[in-house]
């Protein structure tokens, strides 16, 4: 045994926004002089909630269009 441990697995594509990435974007953009630690966490949660709502509305409209066209 070489003692190197198990090989690392390749990480898949992230499905949610990284809080660190949002924090970096808030710093780079001139939104405020200082950005608190909780701001990017809250912003990530709000963005995830809004994305879920938009996807739900889009799914509902596609479902209703499909069911209407199927009846004819």
- pLDDT, averaged in runs of 10, over the chain (72 residues): 63 73 94 93 96 95 81 60
Q: Distances from the Cα of 36 to the Cαs of 18, 27, 40, 47, in angstroms?
A: 16, 10, 8, 18
Residues 40 and 28: beta-carbon distance below 8 Å: no
Nearest to 38 by CA among 14, 19, 52: 19
Task: Quote the pLDDT of residue 13.
Answer: 65
Task: Quote the pLDDT of residue 39.
Answer: 96
Task: Quote the pLDDT of residue 48.
Answer: 95
Task: Quote the pLDDT of residue 71.
Answer: 63
Residues 35 and 57: beta-carbon distance below 8 Å: no
What pTM was computed for the model? 0.67
12 Cβ contact list (under 8 Å, min separation 6): none
Task: Quote the pLDDT of residue 66.
Answer: 80
Quote the DSSP letter at residue 30: T
């Amino acid at each position: 045994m070489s003692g190197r441990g198990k090989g690392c697995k390749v990480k898949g594509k992230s499905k949610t926004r990284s809080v660190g990435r949002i924090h970096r974007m808030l710093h780079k953009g001139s939104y405020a002089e200082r950005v608190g630690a909780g701001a990017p966490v809250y912003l990530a949660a709000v963005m995830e909630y809004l994305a879920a709502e938009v996807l739900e509305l889009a799914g509902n409209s596609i479902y209703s269009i499909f069911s209407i066209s199927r009846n004819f």
